[in-house]
Structure 1
């Protein structure tokens, strides 16, 4: 069984000044994946990135709250992380194993930081890792558009670090 992992879909990132590329489409994709996971009885994990006290994303900051557009039912496992990888300094790997998950389906934000780091760490932690090609995003940077960043990471991570699958083609 694969668990669904949604990274950093937080108010401060999603509704912040740097709007994510295809944000509304991403919300639709994530809500569809949430529905598929529930129907299959797959565990759902949501990570919230928090920073040190005094930072804009300190623990308890409203900027770290999950976006209300996600359709959550209250049975999801929500946890905080302090590093780009959802596996670093968390008990995610142990929780996945307790749930019986042999794999993890990775989605969310931001592609070149937390999505990339988590895909690599998931494989290194022994999990069958799936990246949803249309299930992650970021914002434009001075060097690259978000569309280019997403395409680059889908190509770079595919094979060595994970399988890359479109949301419509994924079944839990």
Structure 2
């Protein structure tokens, strides 16, 4: 009985700690149950994939059966040319006999060389003052320093 009395005194004296530990355990168990329910709902929402070798699945035939036409006596094409088709036949034969040639280019295209009217730009030495002004203007017209990348060491 000594052990039982000690456990009861321990629980009563440390009730606050046991309530906190019990709350933590209860919270963990509740989250685990909620997650399993969510997963089950997601599985049920997803449509199950139909099995590949399902014989109950309706398959379409790869080909369509050809309807057989009843065999009847076919008329032979007329070999006698009528007066209306005779000129057309002659024109058709002329077109077949005519040799097709691509139209030849009569005049060759020539490209004129551009005329040089001015002098070639020759490097002219510039004064120090002009060079300094060029650097100043490049700083003025260039991107601002705040937009330039910083120097990495």
Question: What band does the TM-score fall into relative to the shorter chain?
Answer: under 0.3
Which protein has the bigger helix share? 2
Higher relative contact order (CA 8 A, sep 6+): 1
Taking structure 1 as the reference length, the TM-score comes to 0.12
Larger Rg: 1 or 2?
2
Taking structure 2 as the reference length, the TM-score comes to 0.13
Which protein has the bigger strand share? 1
